[in-house]
Structure 1
């Protein structure tokens, strides 16, 4: 049962609340606690810091992961009291847990602890059984299979061979041979050993024939050694010797425990077949087993040595039997003690006390085995009942949640219908309001168009009438004295009338608008002032309504007149930009600017605002004294 299962760690920190300042440090310490570059003690310190961050938050998404990793480190460092303490804390919070895989790993860890450290098989079995249940909830077939494998191993050690075979057969349903071959073939080996102890030797041999043929090299020497023990039980020593001799060289790369098993079984098979063996052949694997603290292996070596010395040196045989008995009691192996009594009765066939002790222990062992079988079956049955109860409650909960969801769905439909109705009403309202606004704007446009038409007519009339009259006067006055002065004055009047006419005259809103606007802007700039037009030539003037062109023309002329008269600017910038539904112009100069109070008094600018509002546009001014003047204009298409 390797502890590699407990080294698996979850790196993701999903579902953490990003607004929590504490979560970053929790996640950091949790990651560092899993880094192999640190010593185990350093990793435990990181785990302790991470746990302090979630101690009062059992619903924290990392709570179970952090606590499991902390428990694993306590186990690895041999801090068993801390392991049990924090396991208790973890179990108290299991009801609010949403991490079944980590709970499965935690129960597996405690099962491992109870089995190998405390030698409490029933507690270990319970924990492995709970581990299996959580792994099933997490859909972790490999974890489920491994938990069942260890449960079957405990049943095997407790001589519940039939129950072990059933549990291990169930484990094979979850273990995939292709991806988890070590666990799979380990389960197959234990099933074969269960058949062996049930005296189903043919089934055991069939299993081992399959195992030794298909199993990978890892642990193959262990399986072959166990294969040989079946032949030893059948007293087919030559077949056992053939298998074991082939393993002597192969096991050099295996663990010392495996080497000792092979050598001890080979020596016993040779001796049983009549081949001469030296005591040292038994003693060598015994010393290895002692160095590895392999108690079951030590008992096996003592029994083989006692059998070896049973006839030639009965006292030495008795000494080995006493040693085997001591080891058996240390690990609560009643079966080992029973085998000791079998050999002692051969040494003292007339000893009634030994026979009585043997019968009593045999009956007790039988009752114990029966109790163990019943107990293990009860553990599994109770757990299945509990699981069924949980599933039933979950089904009831899911059914209730479904009913509530249907009720919420119906309510949502009603709310959605009301929302849609309200939105439709609002849409209709805003559409009507928009249409009314557009009609109002169109009315203002029409009114402005009429005003502009009137201005154009007045302009033409002034030019035609006033200009022609002055021209006639000039012809008449040519005959008078000081005619040059009169002509000069009349020409000046003519030019003034012409300028006035041009100020009110028609603005070309067709193909010539671009040039007319450019000419107007440049004509308004003093000689010592620079005019910069940005984006002017990129504007598609055909998209702008004629009345909007006239309005823009007059607005820009007003701004340029204001600049020429008041600002003393040395640089004027006009930036033109096309947008999806409007034309945007930004005017700026580096002149004197004006205060907000002075700006409010300028009649021309107020008229400008009214003009642009009439067509649905907008204009804004930004200025301070000695800080220049800026204006933002929006003209709709």
Structure 2
């Protein structure tokens, strides 16, 4: 992750070479930079997001793209890989391949890192290759090719990885570049050993280790110690344990919790049973702390964006209201002389009608709130009062159901939902997007498909389908949309397909789809985006009934 942060700083400094930017955008951009230097990443993310909005408004796409790249790198650095991918992909449309090569390299490298951390090594290799293609720095280009080769090693495409490593080592005067040389030399030896466990790699691994010690390359030492641990694990467990402990110490020095966890896993395996418990507790505590911190960061990034969007909407609404008021005043001025008294009388009548309408609406909503919310909460309170053994989870579920019912009041669809079977509700929702241009087709949406599917799950699936349809309408330009439903044993599968413009570069995570992915994860389901389709978009969603 420190490599990413270094690249981030390079991107920030590159802004001095660009065209002049506005005062408002520069102020927020400078604040983001200062917070980043202070390692206050949530604040840096917030001001990059704010600066990005200024740059988009001022039609300065290069700086908007730069902000998004930095935001994506911050998200990746804190473990929010899916969020980082969404942000990075949104940056692509703002970056110019001729003017913004540095940001493009950083963006593609970051996507490579996120996919590699999510163990999607083929995609990681593709993005590392794209980054190398745009890189204008020969040495950094070699680093990106090294990353691509590592992805091949994870895929067990050893020959392809070895070919790239040897190609890098054939670069003129590569040994003078001691950091990249030791990195590639170490990776090549370890890959040969991974391909053939009988390969004697000890001297090469130690040579790389010695170079890294001499140049104080702590990130490189972390990799060397881990590779030596792996190499000796089945050959000499004592040596392996020594290197695992060295790996742990350098990972702590680097403040890299992921590397610490990896080293601790090896120590637990190699230590005696009496000592392994001590290290297992350290591993467990560190892992819990890391997951808590990452979850907090993900929520923080989401809230920052939510608050920013909310503020923009409020400003836009105020501007619309101001415009309406100005138009009204202008119209009033034009007709004031000839129709003042008539206007005054009419205005009074309309005001009375409006007040009556508001009162009627308030009475209607008040009745619904009482019937749906008050009665629902009272029912939960009664159950809690009369139960000897209070079931907290069940009570929370019932309160969540009341919450969903109360939210539906604002959409005026409570009665419709109560009267419809779930399959009819889905069919009506899909059918509502049908028009002269878009044709929708449904297959398999029978009533028995949804038997024993709980109401909360139904609501999540309904929202997922609606998200798909909204995304289709906004972005896909599709004319044919189809949904096919099937149920196998205790699993429901939804096949979505349209003939729209699809997604660029075979990448499937676009704006607006993150919520859908989150909902499927909540259902413990799976969502697969088919990026190989020649035209359009194909998505398969599956989730357990129980």
Q: Tell me the TM-score normalized by structure 1.
A: 0.44
Partner of 1:373: 298
Shift of 1:140: 2.1
Deviations 1:92-119 (A, max 9, x none): xxxxxx71232243134224413xxx4x
Partner of 1:261: 183
Shift of 1:246: 0.6
- Measured in 1, the distance between the counterparts of 2:220 and 2:185 equals 12
Shift of 1:303: 1.6
- Structure showing greater radius of gyration is 1
Is 1:302–1:321's contact at 8 Å kept on the other side of the alignment? yes
- Measured in 2, the distance between the counterparts of 1:366 and 1:262 equals 31
Partner of 1:426: none
CA 174–251 in structure 1, closer or farther in 2 if over 3 Å, else same: farther
2:75 paired with 1:150: no
Partner of 1:386: 311
Choose the corresponding residue for 2:30, options 76, 84, 106. 106
CA 143–250 in structure 1, closer or farther in 2 if over 3 Å, else same: farther
Partner of 1:221: 142
Is 1:338–1:362's contact at 8 Å kept on the other side of the alignment? yes
Is 1:100–1:135's contact at 8 Å kept on the other side of the alignment? no
User: Aligned to 1:176, what secondary structure does the other structure show?
Assistant: coil
Choose the corresponding residue for 2:55, options 135, 149, 153. 135
Deviations 1:172-215 (A, max 9, x none): 12112232123223312321332222222333344455556676
CA 401–112 in structure 1, closer or farther in 2 if over 3 Å, else same: farther
Matches within 5 A, 1:36-435: 99-114=23-38, 118=39, 120-208=40-128, 218=138, 219-250=140-171, 252=173, 256-274=178-196, 276-277=199-200, 279-286=202-209, 289=212, 294-348=217-271, 350=273, 351-396=276-321
Is 2:125–2:147's contact at 8 Å kept on the other side of the alignment? no
Which structure has the higher relative contact order (CA within 8 Å, separation 6+)? Answer: 2
Is 1:261–1:285's contact at 8 Å kept on the other side of the alignment? yes
Shift of 1:227: 1.0
Is 1:309–1:317's contact at 8 Å kept on the other side of the alignment? yes
Partner of 2:497: none
CA 134–302 in structure 1, closer or farther in 2 if over 3 Å, else same: farther
User: Aligned to 2:307, what secondary structure does the other structure show?
Assistant: helix
Deviations 1:264-289 (A, max 9, x none): 32222123223645545334444555
Is 2:32–2:47's contact at 8 Å kept on the other side of the alignment? yes
Partner of 1:5: 14
- Measured in 1, the distance between the counterparts of 2:320 and 2:117 equals 43
CA 334–215 in structure 1, closer or farther in 2 if over 3 Å, else same: closer
CA 378–328 in structure 1, closer or farther in 2 if over 3 Å, else same: farther
Count of paired positions = 322
Ranges in structure 2 where 5+ consecutive residues have no aligned partner: 1-7, 336-546
Q: Tell me the TM-score normalized by structure 2.
A: 0.51
Matches within 5 A, 1:428-507: none
- Measured in 2, the distance between the counterparts of 1:5 and 1:258 equals 23
- Measured in 2, the distance between the counterparts of 1:221 and 1:405 equals 66
Deviations 1:27-67 (A, max 9, x none): xxxxxxxxxxxxxxxxxxxxxxxxxxxxxxxxxxxxxx9xx
- Measured in 1, the distance between the counterparts of 2:231 and 2:205 equals 9
Ranges in structure 1 where 5+ consecutive residues have no aligned partner: 12-64, 66-97, 411-637
Deviations 1:471-514 (A, max 9, x none): xxxxxxxxxxxxxxxxxxxxxxxxxxxxxxxxxxxxxxxxxxxx
Shift of 1:319: 3.8
- Measured in 1, the distance between the counterparts of 2:224 and 2:62 equals 35
Shift of 1:311: 4.4
Root-mean-square deviation (CA, aligned residues, Å) is 3.7
Shift of 1:242: 1.0
- Measured in 2, the distance between the counterparts of 1:327 and 1:149 equals 29
- Measured in 2, the distance between the counterparts of 1:339 and 1:262 equals 21
CA 292–147 in structure 1, closer or farther in 2 if over 3 Å, else same: farther
